[in-house]
Amino acid sequence: MNDRVVVVGSVNVDHTVEVERFPRPGETLLASSLRSSMGGKGANQAVAAANSGARTSMIARIGTDSEGSRALETLQRAGVDVDAAERVADAPTGTAWITVSATENTILVVPGANSVWPERVPRFDASAVVLCQLEIPLSVVESVAATTVGTFILNAAPARPLSDDVLRRCDVLIVNEHELAEVSGHTDIDASDTGGQIAASRSLIERGTTAVATTLGSRGAILCTNESTLVATAPPTPDVVDSTGAGDAFCGVFAGRIALGESLGAALRAGVTAGSLAVRHPGAQGGYDGFATLATLIHDTPEITTRPNR
């Protein structure tokens, strides 16, 4: 077993405003607070994977600005190997502009250095569990997918059309319910329509991916293979503070647990538990340092159930 996770992805500084409700187009509202913290789907997932116990490294593109230095320190403090994270002089570190209202958020990303990659992707441990997202150029993700010989996990966020070549290399494609609709083209699925989500997942499996995991917010997650669907119900989480980064907590812990040799079902249950812990803290990486205690918290998460696909 190769117990390593390699994350190839984005690093951002998150600027988050809290509002009572989202503004309408053309409307000005007063926010109740502003804070900045480290984020980026790639960095969040790397920190989550490292905190789940897997040896984790990150390949990223970060500006030479002070935000970039802060981001690197945050990753290092979490135990992420950043030897292959390159500083680029001609673009600032990526930023995300986040609005949080009650349990929901909206996010705009300015990629900056996240979009400046060399033509050849830097060398990485291709036998590791490799985890990508879509906040870096698609050509980089395609080349990483083609090079990986270990387990390739793609979090299709933000959603974009994916080629059959990439889907064929995906061992697990991770999406939320909106991304599932967009990536599969099944745009009419209702949030509570598990049958529709399974049908959309199976259409992606027909195009090549081995499994599709869909995160369902406070309801948990499902993971479809061609034969069956694993259902992970989230534990009750009454105290939601900020859902930013909950999906990344799921992805990082899921990948970390797979790297540590756990089954898809066990990794799914750990991922759902991590997501429910993350939403209790402000900021994308808030609460991630508690993932070492997942072994005790996981008992609040119902056992996985399996249903055959018809």
Q: How far is the CB of 179 from ligand RIB (least distance, A)?
A: 11
**What CA–CA distances, in Å, run from 270 to 26, 74, 181, 277, 297?**
42, 23, 25, 11, 9
Q: How far is the CB of 96 from ligand RIB (least distance, A)?
A: 3
Of 61, 21, 19, the closest CA to residue 40 belongs to 61
Specify the residue, 39 or 150, whose C-beta has the smaller distance to ligand RIB. Answer: 39
Candidates 83, 165, 248, 300; catalytic one: 248
Of 210, 178, 171, the closest CA to residue 197 belongs to 178
Specify the residue, 100 or 222, whose C-beta has the smaller distance to ligand RIB. Answer: 100
Specify the residue, 63 or 150, whose C-beta has the smaller distance to ligand RIB. Answer: 63
State the Cα–Cα distance between residues 140 and 117, nearest whole angstrom. 8
Sheet of 129-132: strand order equals: 85-88, 55-63, 4-8, 129-132, 152-155, 172-176, 211-215, 220-224, 228-233, 305-308
Please say whether the beta carbons of 45 and 255 come within 8 A: yes
Known catalytic residue at 248: yes
Q: How far is the CB of 75 from ligand RIB (least distance, A)?
A: 13
Q: How far is the CB of 128 from ligand RIB (least distance, A)?
A: 22
| Minimal CB distance residue for ligand RIB | 39
Specify the residue, 245 or 271, whose C-beta has the smaller distance to ligand RIB. Answer: 245
| Binding site residues, ligand RIB, CB under 6 A | 10, 12, 14, 39-41, 44, 96, 107, 109, 135, 244-245, 247-248, 284
**Active site residue ranges:** 248
